[in-house]
Every structure is written in C-alpha cells, then in structure tokens.
A and B are shown apart, each in its own frame.
Chain A
Amino acid sequence: MSSNRIMTVSRAISEAIAQEMRTDPKVFVMGEDIGKYGGIFGTTTGLLAEFGEERVRDTPISETGFIGAGVGAAMSGMRPIVELMFVDFFGVCMDSIYNLAAKNIYFSGGNYKVPMVIMTATGGGYSDAGQHSQTLHATFAHLPGLKVVAPSNAYDAKGMMISAIRDDSPVVFMFHKGLQGLAWMASPEAAATELPEEAYTIPFGKANIVRAGKDVTIVTLSMMVHRSLEAAAALEKEGIDAEVIDLRTLVPLDRKTVIRSVAKTGRLVVVDEDYKSFGLTAEILASVVEDDPAHLKAAPQRLAVPDVPIPYSRPMERFVLPNAETIAAAVRATLGKVREAA
C-alpha cells in the first residue's frame, strides 16, 4: 500500500508504535511525559487516547525505576518500549541498561530474552547546553549486548522502530531531536519522507548509500547525513563526486558496505555528532585499514565534536558541531585540494 503522505520522523515513530500495539498486546510504553503530553519530542503522540493508561504509562522522574521495570517486564514476556527523555540522562540509570538489559540474555545462558526498546533523544544544534545536546552514540555502541540504531529520516525511523519492537534483544533507538519535524524545532526538509501506511521492517546492520559517488566516501549517520548531503551538493559544483553512506545502525555495524565503498573511492571522511576520541569515527577508520591499508590513497579525515562539552553559546556550539562547510573542507583535504579564495 503506497502513500503520498510526507510524514515527519516523530509521526513515523508514533505510528510504528501504535501499529505494533494494535497487533501485539504485549507491547506497551513507559516514560516521562509520554502519556498526555505525547512525548516531548512527539514519539508517543495519540497513544494514550487509543490504548489507555494501562499500556501507555507516565512515570515519575525515576529512570532507574522504570527502565529497571522495563527489563523485568521484558524478561517476563512483555515487549516494553521505555523512553529515556534525553540520552544525556543515562547517568542515573546506566546499571539497568548495561548490566541488566544488555547482559541478562548472556547471564541466563539464553534462557531469558530481553525484548525491550529504549528510545532516546540525541543531538544538539539548538542551544540547549552540554547536558541536553549530546549524541553519545559510542557510549552505547561500546557495550556488548545492546543493538544501537540512529535513523536519519521518517521512512527508516518507522521501519527500524518496528524492527526494534520485534527484536528479542534490547535495542537502543536513538532519534535526533533536530530530525523529528517538530513544530518548534527546525528540521532538514529531507528528514520527512513519503511514509507507507502499512507496517514494515528495516533489517539492522544494513547501511544505506544515500548518494553514489566515485571520488570520496563520506560515512555518517543521523543528522550528519543531511549535513553531508549538503556538502556533497556543494562539492559537485567543484567537480568532486562524493559517495555518502548512512550507517543507520551502529550495532550491528555494516563494515562491508563501508569497505567496499572505500576500496572504490580510495578516500574516506567520517562524520559523527558524537565526541571524537574513542568513538565511531575511529572505529570506521580502524575497520577499513584492518581490512587492507592499501584501500586508502590519502590520509582519512574525521569530523566530530572535539572532546569538549557541547557549548550553550550558539556561536560556540556551531563551532564545535560538524557542518556542510567543514565536511566539504575535509573532503577537499583528502583530495589534496585547498579551496581557492573566491
């Protein structure tokens, strides 16, 4: 069933959850302001009215409590979705996430499943300071036992949320606030997409080549897909043909698609909105050179937050976040080109 609707990411997520709740009575949602308010980033809008308080549960500000309860519910046969309002708040509830949710399948020798979704808001760019603006992709991807996904558009968000709900392992579903299409926060136009009416899944571990090119490979995900596509469009005018890969999932990580692309282009730029050191950018570089250092014709470039807290000040925040200009400059550097003064 095709549709000509152009839907936002937030609506895609809430539609995915509603469709799974209609077909599976085991699916329910818990979190702060996910009921009457509909989720502060619109992920649960309309669910309370349709499914009632038994299945759409507003919680107190007690992440340790309700995420721990989610783990227990999942191990008892339910399929909970819990919302950690900002990923930055993980500090108070990490034991529930990385010692319980992530490890209980392993600890029980596979006798228990933990079919749970932890959905959480990531990202900056709107001057909300260092404890509301992080992405923390690598913090979660680093820990064995969690699948970690971060969609860049509405079509992927719906399919990946349905895959997450149906998965028997815990999935950390990281949605970027600035992609949600909320009325009060600017969003790139391409984040909203045509959205099929029916339920569908997108397999984890399959990167998406969102722009094919022959000169350089840009590997990225989430919001930075849009910034990278802007950079690629600008570079095209200079005769540089960039390939842009949207990883879509960190765990599992589609190293094959990245390696195949770099083997073709010989040049690599990795863009991440997370911190630079010990993160995704290094993991991608390592994956390529472990396969064959000869893939690279030039030193790779990586763009990420330079190991500082995200500034509250708008100009300072803009300075630390990768953008189309800095991505384009990194691409030129891999090609040995310096932009001539205009």
Chain B
Amino acid sequence: MATEIALPPDLWDAAANPEGIVANWFFTEGAGVRKGATVAEIMVEKTSFDIAAPADGHLHIVVGKDGVVKPGAVIGTVDGG
C-alpha cells in the first residue's frame, strides 16, 4: 500500500506566499527510505522546510525538483511493499 507524502496544509502562510518549490529530493526515484528520514526540502521565499518519510518503503516522486507546490500538495508516495 502506498502512503502519500503530503505537505502539511499549514506548513506556511499561503495567504502571504501562495506557492513554494521542491528544492531538493534527498533520495532517487525507487530508493528505499525509512520512516522519519528527511526525503525532501521545500522552499518558500528563502525559508526551507524538511519533509520526512511517513512510512518505510520505496520512494516514488510525484513532484520533481523545482516543481511548484501549494500547502497540502502530495509530492510523492512511499510504497510499503
């Protein structure tokens, strides 16, 4: 079963800055990740947010590096197979 890597809806104030970008992925597509590992970095203006893996499994990237995101966006999934 795949678990979504979703940005928290209140990660940043969307009224002030509607969009952020995926600044970095720290694992490649298909890589094995552990729950809690920092998998991605989101940048909004000059502020960075680390995003953790929600489960153990294989990473699937939905929004690639430099992709534009809004709060709540699903940027990837972790396949717990």
* Residues of chain A having any CB pair with chain B under 8 Å: 4-8, 181-184, 192
Contact = CB atoms under 8 A, between A and B. Distances in A.
Contacts of B68: none
B25 interface: yes
Interface of B: 21, 23-28, 31-32, 37, 41, 43, 46, 48
Contacts, number: 25
A264 to B, nearest CB: 35
SS of B interface (majority): strand
Contact of B31 (A4, A181, A183): A4
Nearest to B65: A189
Contacts of B41: 183
A167 B65 CA distance: 37
B78 to A, nearest CB: 14
Nearest to A7: B26
Contacts of A183: 21, 23-24, 41, 43, 46, 48
Main secondary structure of the interface of A (DSSP, over half): loop
In order of increasing CB-CB distance, the 8 nearest A-B pairs are A183-B23, A183-B43, A4-B31, A183-B48, A184-B46, A5-B26, A6-B26, A183-B41
A4 B32 contact: yes
A184 B21 CA distance: 10
A1 to B, nearest CB: 13
Contact of A6 (B27, B32, B43, B46): B27
Given A183-B48, A184-B46, A8 B27 contact: no
Nearest to A187: B24
Given A4-B28, A7-B26, A184-B46, 17 more contacts: A4-B32, A5-B26, A5-B27, A5-B37, A6-B25, A6-B26, A6-B27, A6-B28, A181-B24, A182-B23, A183-B21, A183-B24, A183-B41, A183-B43, A183-B46, A183-B48, A192-B24
A181 B25 CA distance: 11
Nearest to A4: B31
A137 B41 CA distance: 31
18 contacts: A4-B32, A5-B26, A5-B27, A6-B25, A6-B26, A6-B27, A6-B28, A7-B26, A8-B24, A181-B24, A183-B21, A183-B23, A183-B24, A183-B43, A183-B46, A183-B48, A184-B43, A184-B46
